[in-house]
Amino acid sequence: MPDPQGFLRYERQLPKRRPVPVRIQDWSEVYPPADDELIREQATRCMDCGIPFCHHGCPLGNRIPDWNDLVRTGQWQFAIEQLHATNNFPEFTGRLCPAPCEAACVLAIAGGQSVTIKQVEVEIINRAFDLGYVTPQPAPEPSGRSVAVVGSGPAGLAAAQQLARAGHAVTVYERDDEPGGLLRYGIPDFKLEKRHIDRRLTQLRAEGVGLVTGCAVGVDLTVEELRQRHDAVILAAGALAGRDMPDTPGRRLAGVHLAMEHLVPPNRVVAGKQDSVDIDAAGKHVIIIGGGDTAADCLGVAHRQGAASVTQLDLYPLPPRERDESRDPWPCWPWILREYPAHEEGGERVFAVAVQEFVGQERVRAIRIAEVTVVKRDGRRQVTVVPGTERELPADLVLLAIGFEGTEEGPLLDQLGLARNPRGGMDCGPDWQTAVPGVFVAGDMHRGASLIVWAIAEGRAAAAAVHTYLGGDGVLPTPVDPAAVPLTAP
């Protein structure tokens, strides 16, 4: 029985972050490991509600009150078993998830302070690795069936692990030189050190998952060859086509780049894969266009590179700091100001502005912006410039972090004869199967650019569907029904 008074005795408290002046000198994670006492106190705040709304907030249906209570009583091994029951990779979500579970926590009602669920999660998996509780779980016997997974992000890896544990021979094909998807070279080390991916890959390999890197399906291996080799295919190739601003005057000036062109090289330098970066913010006035995860990552990288100044521009007005109950009542995901650790490190945020022009001769030297109002009509965004509000901001480096169009078009889709839907994703039926029999889809490639927690949830669900398709006995859990997936959820 959990402690019914815990939330009255303990305030919500996050572990201390490393000091800003120290952490911007390196690429290591912002949060150092937290001590047992703090985490057990924080887990004690969980009330084990009769209806645990946190479950419903979590796309994975994580059994949050169960593992909170196991942490409270110091039973770390049982806690990781409960956590792993629904989530293959809590070391990724515990570090990176925006935590819709916390927004849905009963303690968050009426502006209250939710349980620090995400922090408890990451500390469970940290200890589980340290204490040797994370071991390979190979299938008792092979099924004799074989599955290809295209793409090694969280969706592909979750699907691969589920299927390998059910006895299928799984091979993941990845075009990058290392597996991990956006977690490997998109997300910076200060959010996720890559040793966490490598440690998990060791487990996957020991469970029999084959990982083939440097292999772009459609280019290095045709879809026909792939289908001859395997009984089923899961597409988990992400939504990596970056959104651009091709019609804005000056877009082709030197110094204006897509965010990923700026984010990938430092990750490769930290990994020892290359010596230096071409796009360096050192000493520059940097403008980041966009307000999401990618923009915050560009901000953190620019500070670590020694930018002279960083300004982040957002089309939308400044959100409220607290949930607006009339707009997003609890337990919905609220529209509020999101502050990432990168924002603590410096920079200015400007809201309700749109870029009118990138200004310069050959290189960008400024951007011209104007204040705007944004309204949604019939689901479409209408942006109106406020007359007389145009101004210039100095800019030596401009980074476009305005989202992703969807899955990249090219040989993979052409050879499958599949096309993107209007959201940029790939359609599938209730069994996660695309229009091509035996070819399934999961993660960002299905839903468009989204979150790691959704990628894992969809990878698990697609794996369960493939298992059934291959005549399996239905032992794999199906946490998500594609028809029920709210595509607008966080």
Ligand X SMILES: Cc1cc2nc3c(=O)[nH]c(=O)nc-3n(C[C@H](O)[C@H](O)[C@H](O)COP(=O)(O)OP(=O)(O)OC[C@H]3O[C@@H](n4cnc5c(N)ncnc54)[C@H](O)[C@@H]3O)c2cc1C
Q: How far is the CB of 181 from ligand X (least distance, A)?
A: 3
Residue 264 binds ligand X, judged by CB under 6 A: no
10 Å CB burial of residue 4 (0-12, 13-18, 19+) is exposed
CB of 456 to ligand X, least distance (A): 8
Q: What are phi and psi of 108, to 5 degrees?
A: -85, 0
Site string for ligand X, 341-380 (x = CB under 6 A): ----------------------------------------
Q: Is 160 in the site for ligand X (CB under 6 A)?
A: no
- Rounded to a whole number of angstroms, the minimum distance from the CB of residue 297 to ligand X is 4
C-beta closer to ligand X: residue 134 or 221: 221
SS (H, E, C) 345-386: CCCEEECCEEEEEEEECCEEEEEEEEEEEEEEECCEEEEEEC
If the CB atoms of residues 299 and 364 are measured against ligand X, the closer one turns out to be: 299
Is 265 near ligand X (CB under 6 A)?
Answer: no
Phi/psi at 419 (5° precision) = -125, 155
216 contributes a contact to ligand X by CB under 6 A? yes
Task: Give the count of residues interacting with ligand X (CB under 6 A).
Answer: 38
CB of 375 to ligand X, least distance (A): 27
CA–CA distance, 450 with 238 (Å, rounded to integer):
9
Please check whether residue 172 is in contact with residue 149, taking contact to mean a CB–CB distance below 8 angstroms. yes
Binding mask 217-246 for ligand X (x = CB under 6 A): xx-----------------xxx-x------
Least Cβ distance, residue 362 to ligand X (angstroms): 28
Cα-to-chain-centroid distance, residue 20: 24
Nearest Cα to 60, choosing from 480, 475, 488, 421? 480
Query: Which of 52, 156, 255, 448 contacts ligand X by CB under 6 A?
Result: 156
The answer to whether residue 161 forms part of the interface with ligand X (CB under 6 A) is no
Parallel/antiparallel/unpaired status of strands 146-150 and 169-173: parallel
Q: Which of 444, 465, 476, 479 binds ligand X (CB under 6 A)?
A: 444
In the shown chain, the binding pattern of residues 451 to 480 toward ligand X, with x for contact by CB under 6 A and - for none, equals xxx-x-------------------------
Instruction: Determine if 90 is a binding residue for ligand X (CB under 6 A).
Output: no
Q: How far is the CB of 488 from ligand X (least distance, A)?
A: 15
408-437 residues in contact with ligand X (CB under 6 A) are 412
Task: Please answer whether residues 452 and 154 qualify as being in contact, where contact means their C-beta atoms are separated by less than 8 angstroms.
Answer: yes
Out of 176, 231, 314, 345, the residue judged to bind ligand X by CB under 6 A: 176
> What's the rounded Cα separation, in Å, for the pair 19 and 202?
32
- Closest approach of ligand X to the CB of residue 389, in Å: 30
Q: Give the span between the Cα atoms of 417 and 306, in whole angstroms.
A: 46
Q: Which is nearer to ligand X, 83 or 370 (CB)?
A: 83
Least separation in angstroms between CB 5 and ligand X: 33
| CA of residue 71 relative to chain centroid, distance | 26
Which residues lie below 8 Å from residue 426, measured CB to CB, with a gap of 6+? 235, 407, 418, 420, 434, 441, 445, 446
Nearer to ligand X, 360 or 406 (CB): 406
Cα–Cα distance list, 101 to 85, 93, 187 (Å): 17, 11, 22
Q: Is 86 in the site for ligand X (CB under 6 A)?
A: no
CB atoms within 10 A of CB 351: 16
Please give the residue ranges that form the binding site for ligand X (CB under 6 A).
96-97, 150-156, 173-176, 181-183, 186-187, 216-218, 236-238, 240, 263, 293-294, 297, 412, 443-445, 450-453, 455
